[in-house]
Amino acid sequence: MNLGRGVLIYGLGRSGRGVARFLAREAGAGGSGAQWHDHRPSPEDEALMGELGLARGDVAGEYGVVVAAPGVPIDHPDLLALQARGAEIIGEVALAARLRPGLPLVGVTGTAGKGSTTVLIAQLLRGSGLNAREGGNIDPPLLDVVDEAEVAVAELSSFQLERVPGLRLPVAVITNLGIDHLDRHGTVEAYHAAKLAVTAGQRAGDVLVLPTGLEARVSTQADIWAFTPDHLALRDGTEVLSVAELPQGVHPANAAAALLAAEGLLRFLGRRADPEVLAGALRSAQPVTGRFETVARVGEVSFIEDSIATRTIAVEAALRQARPPIAWLVGGRDKGADLAPLAEAARGRVARVIAFGEDGEMFARELGLPYDTVTGEGGDEVLRRAAEAGFAALGGRKGTGTVLLAPIGTSFDLFKDYQARGASFRRAARALAGEAP
């Protein structure tokens, strides 16, 4: 491994820890060592760096490569200063592609559905006999799986796609393009440009999978394979499965995209996509935990956790899928969501909005729906009270409908991430149901 004048890992979030583990393994095999920097490292992260033998770095120093965490803005002053001193700024995905160039990689991005589609593609490839592993923006970090995988499927956020110089994907997927992360990118155009970077390194003969109607917005050398959610088929039109046969929780659009992506990767490897094998893999597919998942039931009231639903397109899908009447839990920290489509989707379906967290009440007011606001000491108490208020709004144990956590806002006002927020809601819902948390 040759990374020039040394490596600085900037940011010890989930991705940064994956980079540290990977580079420590490389150093143990005779490669270059690395240093790390984080403005607020946790005691656990500091202990891990000590165990890995990685020293704390100096942001005023000189490095050949800086591997920055996705959450660090691209124009962060530290990164700009390091770049001015000659450092190349990349991310985890670019590092994986650079140091494991022989590993076939499928990249999946989009405003909604990218995590579920990533998992589905890996499941289809495993069903086709390949040792496929998923990672990236979805757990685990991509660098945690690259040495175990025959092929890798990476969920790619717009943040990650800002730092993928030279990334070539034999198969790339764009699930959809909506509005998200305006607090980071500033404009919808800049956000979409970051997403479309998934195609930048593709060549003639590579495959780009995207929804029908998006073709005109993409300039690429790759072959464009368009999908529609009502047709689960291969490239030549061979139907693999009917939508009615999909397991509960598997969205047809994600399944349609995953089929074409799996076929494209198999073709890249010189293998045949067997419709019967793929149909069997789809029938046994497992939906991703925390994506529109029913976590408890009390009589005729269901509790659905969709904590990751912070994008307009994802929240709208949740509202249209949930069984009305709906007690809709909204809150967290606003990141520039477009609320107009949500107000339309909620009309006639949402009985009550339960607002929580930093921007919950603002969301509720702008949606123009009847609402209650809950507060508390800490995230767990807030989510418990929100679940209880939603349950009561539907009539309690004699009621009917859905208590839906599809929060619109990010989790960072009360929780470390969306998974912690979802876990808190699960505990609250299961306590109401009288189940063990």
Q: pLDDT by residue for the chain (437 residues), tens digit each?
A: 456 568 999 999 888 999 999 999 887 644 457 899 999 888 999 999 999 999 999 999 999 999 999 888 888 999 999 999 999 999 999 999 999 999 999 999 998 888 889 999 999 999 999 999 999 888 899 999 999 999 999 999 888 888 888 889 999 999 988 766 666 777 888 888 888 889 989 999 999 999 998 887 888 999 999 999 989 999 999 999 999 999 877 889 999 999 999 999 999 999 999 999 999 999 999 877 777 888 999 999 999 999 988 888 889 888 988 999 999 999 999 988 889 999 999 999 999 999 999 999 999 999 999 999 999 999 999 999 999 999 999 999 999 999 999 999 999 999 988 889 999 999 999 999 987 55
Domain with 109 in it: what CATH number?
A: 3.40.1190.10
Clarify whether residues 305 and 381 are in a common domain: yes
Q: CA 140 to CA 148: how far, in whole Å?
A: 12
Domain with 337 in it: what CATH number?
A: 3.90.190.20
Clarify whether residues 99 and 60 are in a common domain: no
**Is 364 among the annotated ligand-binding positions?**
no
Domains held by the chain: number: 3
Q: CA 82 to CA 64: how far, in whole Å?
A: 9
Q: Which of 71, 90, 109 is the last residue of a domain?
A: 90
The answer as to whether 1 is a domain residue is no
The pLDDT of residue 347: 94
Clarify whether residues 375 and 274 are in a common domain: no
**Is 113 among the annotated ligand-binding positions?**
yes
Q: CA 320 to CA 312: how far, in whole Å?
A: 12
Clarify whether residues 113 and 250 are in a common domain: yes
Clarify whether residues 179 and 241 are in a common domain: yes
Clarify whether residues 411 and 318 are in a common domain: yes
**Is 416 among the annotated ligand-binding positions?**
no
Tokens at residue 130, please?
């390949």
Clarify whether residues 107 and 146 are in a common domain: yes
Clarify whether residues 149 and 259 are in a common domain: yes
**Is 195 among the annotated ligand-binding positions?**
no
292 near 425, Cβ under 8 Å? no
Q: CA 121 to CA 262: how far, in whole Å?
A: 6
Sign of CA dihedral 16, 21, 26, 28: positive
Clarify whether residues 125 and 31 are in a common domain: no
Output the 3-class SS for 303-343.
EEECCCCCCHHHHHHHHHHCCCCEEEEEECECCCCCCHHHH
Predicted model pTM: 0.77
The answer as to whether 329 is a domain residue is yes
**Is 399 among the annotated ligand-binding positions?**
no
The answer as to whether 2 is a domain residue is no
The answer as to whether 162 is a domain residue is yes
Clarify whether residues 258 and 309 are in a common domain: no
Q: CA 393 to CA 328: how far, in whole Å?
A: 10
**Is 110 among the annotated ligand-binding positions?**
yes
Q: CA 288 to CA 155: how far, in whole Å?
A: 13
The answer as to whether 50 is a domain residue is yes
Clarify whether residues 181 and 255 are in a common domain: yes
Domain that holds residue 34: 7-90
**Is 398 among the annotated ligand-binding positions?**
no
